[in-house]
Each structure stands twice: as structure tokens, then as C-alpha cells.
Amino acid sequence: MKLILVLFITANYMFGLGFFVRLSNLFLKKDFYSKSIHRKMLFLMGIYFSMAIFIKQINPLESAVLAVMPSLVLVIYTQVVSYNRNKQLSLLKIRFFRDISLKISTGMSLLDAIESICHNSNNFLYKKIRHHVTFRQHFNKSEIDKSCFEVIDFIKNALDSPVNIREKLNAYEEKLFIEHDFRRRSGQALLGVRIQAAIMCLLYFFAFIYTLSFYDFEKNKILILVSLILFVFGLIWLTKIGGKIRWKV
């Protein structure tokens, strides 16, 4: 019986490590962090799971929590980064196409203008544009955020059909500006809902701390751990639903 328990807990950790590696590779392709940070994360996760294996007196549920916790932290981190990116992306795209129009007005070609703007830039959008447009790297939609994909797709179509290029750029820039203004107004309208969600998170946090402080953790650890897991999964689920909303203009 003890051997089966050890094998089950070890399988939990192996699954947790494998799932973390797959997630981290996916997020690396989407430029959430650099390759050096990715290597450091994998190294730390190797140490984390190696130490977890040697923890004594741990039950299967606790091992499952330890196994999935790194992946949950990684998902939450990438969601925060994605939210901050999306806040900046609308204005960034408008500025990019405005700079393109100015350079084309001086006599530069569209491709030369893109290379001039994106050259040596560490900006995630400019890096994607340079890799997939000027370097002609393989165009894999699954590895690119939808908002970035739309920009790259428009530029590639413009390069394939360069007729009336300035009119196309001006029309697309105006479309981006309208979308940015619409999202800004919508964000203001949804601010109350976000504040309520933040208050609920704070209430749960204080209730969680109160439970740990005044109740015996050993007697209630199953309920506490299940509650924590459900709360985290619910938070991620709500974030995913919010991320799937697409504003129509």
C-alpha cells in the first residue's frame, strides 16, 4: 500500500512537471519572457519537484496541489502580462501605422519603412512584425496573439497588393483609433464590475487568513485546500472568459 501511494505521488509530480514544461514552452513562443528566463524557470522547477518528492507524510491531495501550483502561478503571471500588453497595444498599433505613413510620405517603400521602425526594437509587437514580415518566417497563427496576427496579416496583404498603399494605411489607422476609443469607453463602463471582482478577491483572502488563524488546519485541511483550488480555478476561468470577449466596431 505504501509503495502504491509513493508511486501515485511521484506520478502526480511527473505530470505537474510535464504540464509546466508544455505551458512554459507555449508562453515562450508568445514572447511572455525571454529564453534565458525560460531556462531558469525550468531549472528551478527541476529543483522544486526534486525537493517535493522527498517530503514525508504527504497525502495524494497535497501532492496534487504541489504539482499544479507552479502551473497555476505561471498562468496567473501570463494573464497579468497579457492584460498589461493589451492596454498598451491599441496605442502602440496606432503609433506604428502613423510612423509607417510618415516614412512612406518621404519616399520609402512599405518594407523599408517597417524595417526602419522595427530594427533593434525590443517591443513585443515590433519583434513579431519584423520576424514574420521582414524575415519572412513561418506564419503560425496559434503562436501569435490575435491582435498581433491581425496587424501582421494586414501588412502581408498590403505587401502582396501595394496599390493605393497610403489610402489603405490611413483607413486602417482610422479603424484602429475607433476601436481604441470604443474599448476605452467600454472599459470605463466595466470598471464597477472589476472593482466588485477585486473586492470579492480581498474578502476571500481575509476569510482564508482568518480560517488559517482560528481553526485547526490539520482537521480542516481538505476543505481549505479544496476551497483554495476551486477559487484559483474559478479566477482563471473568469479571466479566460473575459479574454475571449471580442469587441465589435
Question: What confidence tens digit (pLDDT) does each residue in 182-236 have?
Answer: 777 766 656 665 666 677 777 877 787 777 777 776 777 787 778 878 877 777 7
- Neighbour tally for 148: CB within 10 Å: 21
**Based on the domain organization, do 150 and 235 belong to the same domain?**
no
**Based on the domain organization, do 124 and 177 belong to the same domain?**
yes
**Based on the domain organization, do 128 and 98 belong to the same domain?**
yes
Nearest residue to 70 (alpha-carbon basis) of 28, 23, 7: 23
Q: What is the pLDDT of residues 95-132, one digit of tens each?
A: 888 888 888 888 888 888 888 888 777 777 777 777 77
Task: Tell me how many domains the chain contains.
Answer: 2
CB of 91 within 8 A of CB of 184?
Answer: no
Nearest residue to 155 (alpha-carbon basis) of 97, 91, 80: 97
More confident residue, 230 or 22: 22
C-alpha cell recorded at residue 190: 466595466
Q: Find the mean pLDDT for residues 63-92.
A: 80
CB of 65 within 8 A of CB of 222?
Answer: no
Asked if pLDDT for residue 1 goes beyond 80, the answer is: no
Q: Please, which contacts does 94-102 make with residues 24 or more away whose CB atoms are closer than 8 Å?
A: 94/173, 94/176, 94/177, 94/180, 96/125, 96/126, 96/129, 96/151, 97/169, 97/172, 97/173, 97/176, 98/173, 100/169, 101/166, 101/169, 101/170, 101/173
What's the confidence (pLDDT) of residue 140?
Answer: 57
**Based on the domain organization, do 180 and 225 belong to the same domain?**
no
**Based on the domain organization, do 45 and 131 belong to the same domain?**
no
What's the confidence (pLDDT) of residue 83?
Answer: 73
**Based on the domain organization, do 217 and 177 belong to the same domain?**
no
Asked if pLDDT for residue 35 goes beyond 50, the answer is: yes
Residue finishing a domain among 170, 189, 208? 189
Predicted confidence band of residue 43 (pLDDT cuts 50, 70, 90): very high
What's the confidence (pLDDT) of residue 234?
Answer: 74
Residue 89 lies in domain: 85-189
- Neighbour tally for 102: CB within 10 Å: 12
**Based on the domain organization, do 124 and 198 belong to the same domain?**
no
- Between 22-26, 48-52, 203-207, 240-244, the lowest mean confidence (pLDDT) is in 240-244
**Based on the domain organization, do 149 and 222 belong to the same domain?**
no
Q: Find the mean pLDDT for residues 9-28.
A: 86
C-alpha cell recorded at residue 137: 518566417
Residue finishing a domain among 189, 207, 232? 189
**Based on the domain organization, do 93 and 185 belong to the same domain?**
yes
Q: Does some domain include residue 249?
A: no
Residue finishing a domain among 189, 204, 221? 189
**Based on the domain organization, do 102 and 168 belong to the same domain?**
yes
Q: Does some domain include residue 217?
A: yes
More confident residue, 67 or 145: 67
Q: Does some domain include residue 147?
A: yes
Asked if pLDDT for residue 77 goes beyond 60, the answer is: yes
Asked if pLDDT for residue 249 goes beyond 50, the answer is: no
**Based on the domain organization, do 209 and 178 belong to the same domain?**
no
- Between 28-32, 50-54, 125-129, 139-143, the lowest mean confidence (pLDDT) is in 139-143
Name the percent of the chain in helix, strand, coil, to the closest 5.
85, 0, 15
* Residues contacting residue 32 through CB under 8 Å, at least 6 positions apart: 77, 78, 81, 82
